[in-house]
Amino acid sequence: MHAISTTRLTKVYRYSEQEPGMKGAFKGLFKPVRRERTAVDALTLTVPKGQVIGLLGPNGAGKTTTIKMLCGLLRPTGGELEVLGHQPHQRSFDFLSRISVVFGQKSMLWWDVSTYDSLLIHREMYAIPKPVFDASVAELTERLDVAGLINIPVRKLSLGQRMRCELVLALLHGPDLLFADEPTVGLDVVAKLALRNFLAELNRDHGTTIVLTSHDMSDVAALCRRIALIDHGVIGFDGDLRELRQRSGQHADADLDQVLAAMFQGRRS
**45-67: per-residue pLDDT in tens?**
999 999 999 998 887 788 889 99
189 within domain boundaries: yes
The three-state secondary structure class of 266 is helix
Question: pLDDT over 70 for what percent of the chain?
Answer: 90
64 within domain boundaries: yes
Question: pLDDT over 90 for what percent of the chain?
Answer: 54
188 within domain boundaries: yes
At 3, is the pLDDT very low, low, confident or very high (cuts 50, 70, 90)?
Answer: very high
pLDDT at 256: 67
- What are the helix (H) ranges across 19-129? 21-30, 63-70, 93-96, 115-125
129 within domain boundaries: no
142 within domain boundaries: no
144 within domain boundaries: no
Mean pLDDT across the stretch 210-239?
88
Give me the residues paired with residue 28 across strands. Answer: none
Residue 207 lies in domain: 47-75+89-98+175-268
At 250, is the pLDDT very low, low, confident or very high (cuts 50, 70, 90)?
Answer: low
218 within domain boundaries: yes
70 within domain boundaries: yes
At 224, is the pLDDT very low, low, confident or very high (cuts 50, 70, 90)?
Answer: very high
pLDDT at 125: 92
Mean pLDDT across the stretch 85-99?
94
Q: Which domain CATH number covers 68?
A: 3.40.50.300
- What are the helix (H) ranges across 71-223? 93-96, 115-125, 130-143, 159-171, 189-206, 217-223
Positive or negative: CA dihedral 140, 146, 148, 152: negative
- Checking phi first, is residue 128 left (phi over 0); if not, alpha (psi -120 to 50) or beta? beta
Domain count, the chain: 1
